[in-house]
Chain A
Amino acid sequence: MDAGIEDNSNQDFSGYDVRVTDAAQNGDTFVYVIKSQQISSDTEYRVEREFEDVEWLHHCLLTQEGVTGLHGIIFPPLPAKPGPSLSNSEAKTKKKIESLAMVDDWQMYCRALEEYLHLVTAHPVLVKNPAVHSFLKHREPPIKTKVKKGIFNKLTQAVGELRKEHHKDIDDFFQNERDSNLTLTAFTKAAAERTKRSQINFPVALCSSTEIAIACGHFSTALHLGIGQDDDPADYAFAKMCLKLSEVLDTVKKNFEKVAENDLNTLGFNLELYSRFQDAEKEMLFRRTCKLVDVETANKNLGQAKPQKKAAMEDIKKAADTEFDEISGMAKVEIQRYHRERVRAFQKALIELSDSQLQTARECCVELKQQLAEFKQLCA
Chain B
Amino acid sequence: MSTEATVELALDSPLNNRKREPAQTKPSAPGPSLTVTGPSTLKPPPAKTFEEVCPDDPEEEEKDAFELNIAVTNPEKVGDGMNAYMAYKVSTQTNLPMFKCKTYTVKRRFSDFLGLYEKLSEKHSQNGYIVPPPPEKSILGMTKVKVGKEDSSSVEFVERRRASLERYLQRVVSHPLLLQDPDVREFLEKDELPRAVSTQALSGAGFLKMINRATNAVSKMTIKMNESDIWFEEKLLEVESEDQHLRKLLSVVETLVNHRKELSSNTAMFAKSVAMLGSSEDNTALSRALSQLAEVEDKIEQLHQDQACNDFFILAELFADYIRLLTAVRGSFDHRMKTWQRWQDAQTTLQKKRENEAKLLWANKPDKLQQAKDEISEWESKVTQYERDFERVSATVRKEVLRFEKEKAMDFKNQLVRYLETLLHSHQQLIKYWEAFLPEAKAIA
Chain A interface residues toward B at CB < 8 A: 180, 183-184, 187-188, 190-191, 193-195, 197-198, 201-202, 204-205, 208-209, 211-212, 215-216, 218-219, 222-223, 226, 232-238, 241, 244-245, 248, 252, 255, 339, 343-344, 346-347, 350-351, 353-355, 357-358, 361-362, 364-365, 368-369, 371-372, 375-376, 378-380
Contact = CB atoms under 8 A, between A and B. Distances in A.
A368 B424 contact: yes
A234 B445 contact: no
A233 B445 CA distance: 62
Given A216-B249, A252-B423, A376-B417, A191 B53 contact: no
16 contacts: A184-B281, A197-B269, A201-B262, A204-B262, A208-B256, A219-B246, A232-B406, A238-B405, A248-B420, A343-B283, A347-B289, A355-B438, A357-B434, A372-B417, A372-B420, A380-B412
B43 interface: no
Given A191-B270, A379-B56, A211 B252 contact: yes
B245 A222 contact: yes
Contacts of A241: 409, 412-413, 416
B190 interface: no
B273 A347 contact: no
Contacts of B438: 351, 354-355, 358
Contacts of B405: 232, 234-235, 238
B256 A380 contact: no
B248 A187 contact: no
B441 to A, nearest CB: 4
B440 to A, nearest CB: 8
A187 B427 contact: no
Range class of the B interface residue count: 35 or more
A245 B274 CA distance: 36
Contacts of B276: 187, 190-191
Interface string B404-422: 0110111011101100110
B63 interface: no
A237 B408 CA distance: 10
Contacts of A209: 256
Contacts of B100: none
Interface in B258-307: 259-260, 262-263, 266-267, 269-270, 273-274, 276-277, 280-283, 285-286, 289, 293
A191 B420 contact: no
B424 A369 contact: yes
Given A195-B270, A208-B255, A234-B405, A350 B444 contact: yes
A343 B444 contact: yes
Contact of A180 (B263, B277, B280, B437): B280
A359 B286 CA distance: 23
B417 A197 contact: no
Contacts of B262: 201, 204-205
B280 A187 contact: yes
Nearest to A369: B424
Q: Max chain A CB contacts within 10 Å: which of B242, B285, B427, B441? A: B427
A362 B435 CA distance: 11
Contacts of B225: none
Contact of B423 (A191, A248, A357): A248
Q: Is the interface of B mostly helix, strand, loop or mixed?
A: helix
Contact of A368 (B253, B406, B420): B420
Nearest to A191: B273
Given A194-B270, A198-B266, A375 B417 contact: yes
B205 interface: no
Contacts, number: 183
Contacts of B435: 358
Contacts of A195: 270
A226 B255 CA distance: 28
A77 to B, nearest CB: 18
Interface string B392-410: 0000000000100110111
A223 B237 CA distance: 11
B420 A375 contact: yes
Given A241-B416, A380-B410, A380-B413, A219 B274 contact: no
B2 to A, nearest CB: 13
A204 B258 CA distance: 10
Nearest to A374: B420
| 10 pairs of A and B residues whose beta carbons are closest in the complex | A379-B54, A205-B259, A350-B441, A380-B413, A380-B410, A347-B444, A358-B434, A219-B245, A361-B430, A380-B409
B444 A215 contact: no
Contacts of A187: 273, 276-277, 280
B252 A368 contact: no
B152 interface: no
A378 B274 CA distance: 45
A300 to B, nearest CB: 35
Nearest to B52: A233
A362 B430 CA distance: 9
A369 B423 CA distance: 10
Q: Max chain A CB contacts within 10 Å: which of B246, B259, B402? A: B259
A255 B307 CA distance: 14
B325 to A, nearest CB: 13
A2 B253 CA distance: 55
Contacts of A180: 280, 282
Given A241-B412, A361-B431, 17 more contacts: A187-B277, A194-B270, A195-B270, A215-B248, A218-B245, A233-B54, A234-B408, A237-B54, A241-B409, A244-B416, A347-B444, A358-B435, A361-B434, A368-B420, A369-B424, A379-B51, A380-B412
A52 B116 CA distance: 77
A180 B281 CA distance: 9
Contacts of A378: 413
Contacts of B53: 233-234, 237, 379-380
B442 interface: yes
A365 B270 contact: no
Contacts of A380: 53-54, 406, 409-410, 412-414
